[in-house]
Structure 1
Amino acid sequence: MILNFSDYSENQRYHLMTQTLIPRPIAWALTCSNNEIVVNEETNTVEQSLLNLAPFSYFTAVSSTPALLMLSVGKKPTGESKDTLTNVVKNKKMVIHIASEQQAGLVTQTAATLPHGQSELELTDQSNDIALHLKTVPFDGFPLPRLEQCDIAYGCELYEIKEIKDSPLTLILVEVKQVYISDSVMDVDAKNRIKVHADKVNPLARLGGGEYSGITAPFSKVRPA
């Protein structure tokens, strides 16, 4: 079957793309809703109520020099800009986490549309009214904290904002300034080369609709010379 995109609505094209561009990595993006990032001297971190956390699956790496990541952000149902875009424009910082398959429920909960300034980190699970128990810890050398539960976190600075003509989506390009990798998912060999074990990270992937996926066992192939 050949599908001509000009015959489909914006919403239909979205569903076709998200069901065929699979699997997609998820950027679990943490930003600060304050105009200025203020670190508490006692806790060495930012007040949790000021932090916004949201997942985006239109997300990829686009360059290594400079080290750029890109995510595409839509608008709230009200037509307002999403907090992630508003926040990164204000204070230029973002921490992007790679969630694990076991965190699918938490990731989904943080996709809720909330009033600006209300933190997803203080949400409760509506099914049983318990806190989500998302905890942040200092991200050494970076003004924003990172999620304690994630094995990989990128400390990023805003590089460029690009509006897509006639589209509600905005492209956010951020430059990676540092990356946290848990010792539990990596090894360093005698030549100081880092090996990250994908099966230990067990990253969460996005499919179409409300579907998610993990990964199969990694395998290797030798590239031709």
Structure 2
Amino acid sequence: MNIDVSTMAPSHIYHLMTQTIVPRPVAWVLTDAGDANYNLAPFSYFTAVSSNPPLLMLSVGKKPNGDIKDTTRNVMATGRLVIHIAPAELGEQVTATSATLDHRVSEVEANQIELAELEGFELPRVAACPVAFGCTLFEIKEIGNTPQSLIFAEIEQIYLDENMIDRNSERLKIDALKLDPISRLGGSEYARLGDVFTVKRPD
């Protein structure tokens, strides 16, 4: 089957893309709406884009009524965000925080999510997540006809759960199976890691 995307509605293109570009990592993003009123939301249009400077990128759409989402609003106001890599066991909580709530309603409080200090950073982290990146806003680009907000976040601090660090490696190595990251598929489907294999890169 060959598909000419110019004949498709954007919503149909979205569903096709999200079912074929898989698995996708999930950024579980904490921001501050003001006075420690924390917003928490997942995004699977997410990736690493640079190591120098260390940049992560997430693509954030609009609310159903066309307003910018709270994550974008908060990052524009404060310049700070914490991006988590959530384990598969938190899939229910991650999905629950995708609900559209009023701007001043905290997903952290609504879902009784425990926070912990992120050492060296002014925002907290989700206590149950094995990876948290304390980031500052690097740049926001608006693209597309809707448009989407591409948020580029520069990493300042990284929290790593000690239990997933391989101490026998010459350099810092993370055990991917112990990290057990939740992976996004299409529709309401998620996945977790199965077999991990090694292929040596050519010299």
Which TM bucket (shorter chain)?
over 0.9
Q: Secondary structure at the match of 1:29?
A: strand
Q: Percent identity?
A: 48
* Cα deviation, residue 189, structure 1: 4.3
CA deviation digits over 1:179-203, x for unaligned, max 9? 1000011133475x11100000100
The alignment's TM-score, normalised by the length of structure 2, stands at: 0.97
Indicate yes or no: 2:114 matched with 1:120. no
2:4 corresponding residue in structure 1? 4
CA distance in 2, matches of 1:183, 1:219: 23
CA distance in 2, matches of 1:110, 1:190: 36
CA deviation digits over 1:153-206, x for unaligned, max 9? 000000000000423311000001111000011133475x11100000100000
Letter in 2 for 1:17: M
1:44 corresponding residue in structure 2? none
Letter in 1 for 2:150: L
Letter in 2 for 1:170: S
The alignment's TM-score, normalised by the length of structure 1, stands at: 0.88
Aligned residues: 203
CA deviation digits over 1:82-105, x for unaligned, max 9? 000000000000000001111110
Letter in 1 for 2:126: L
2:60 corresponding residue in structure 1? 73
Indicate yes or no: 2:134 matched with 1:149. no
Q: Secondary structure at the match of 2:128?
A: coil
2:29 corresponding residue in structure 1? 29
Structure 1 counterpart of 2:41, from 54, 58, 82: 54
Q: Secondary structure at the match of 2:202?
A: coil
Structure 1 counterpart of 2:175, from 194, 197, 219: 197
CA distance in 2, matches of 1:77, 1:207: 22
Indicate yes or no: 2:94 matched with 1:107. yes
Structure 2 portions without partners, runs of 5+: none
Q: Secondary structure at the match of 2:152?
A: strand
1:140 corresponding residue in structure 2? 119
Indicate yes or no: 2:163 matched with 1:181. no
Letter in 1 for 2:76: V
* Cα deviation, residue 122, structure 1: 1.5
Structure 1 portions without partners, runs of 5+: 39-46, 124-131
1:158 corresponding residue in structure 2? 137
CA distance in 2, matches of 1:167, 1:82: 13
CA distance in 2, matches of 1:166, 1:114: 24
Two-structure CA RMSD over aligned residues (Å)? 1.2
CA distance in 2, matches of 1:17, 1:223: 29
